[in-house]
Amino acid sequence: MRIRTNEPVKVLTVYDPEKGRTIPHRIKWQNEVHTIRTISYYHRERRGENVYHIYHVNDGAFDFRILCDSESLSWKLEEVVDGVGA
């Protein structure tokens, strides 16, 4: 299953002062709370002058691609993948 979307999503984050990084901890998607177990990849992308923080995270079942807009400090869910089927 692969769902491509562009919906605002509720994200609980934790700031880790040792790593100097903000880490998404939980996502609420389709009325279900997903606790993030691993951050598979993090990178930044510049679109114009605006910087987007893109996290690929996994809750043990699904891969989520979530994006934080550094200007509006809003979060969006871009993709959900469970790896089953094409």
Which residues contact other proteins by CB under 8 A? 38, 40-41, 43-50, 54, 56, 58, 62-63, 65, 81-84, 86
Closest distance to other proteins from the beta carbon of 84 (Å): 8
Report the residue number, 34 or 65, with the smaller CB distance to other proteins: 65
Report the residue number, 17 or 83, with the smaller CB distance to other proteins: 83
User: Dihedral sign, CA of 17, 22, 27, 28?
Assistant: positive
Q: Give the helix/strand (H/E) hosting 18.
A: none
CA distances from 83 to 27, 58, 60, 64 (A): 19, 12, 12, 11
Report the residue number, 17 or 48, with the smaller CB distance to other proteins: 48
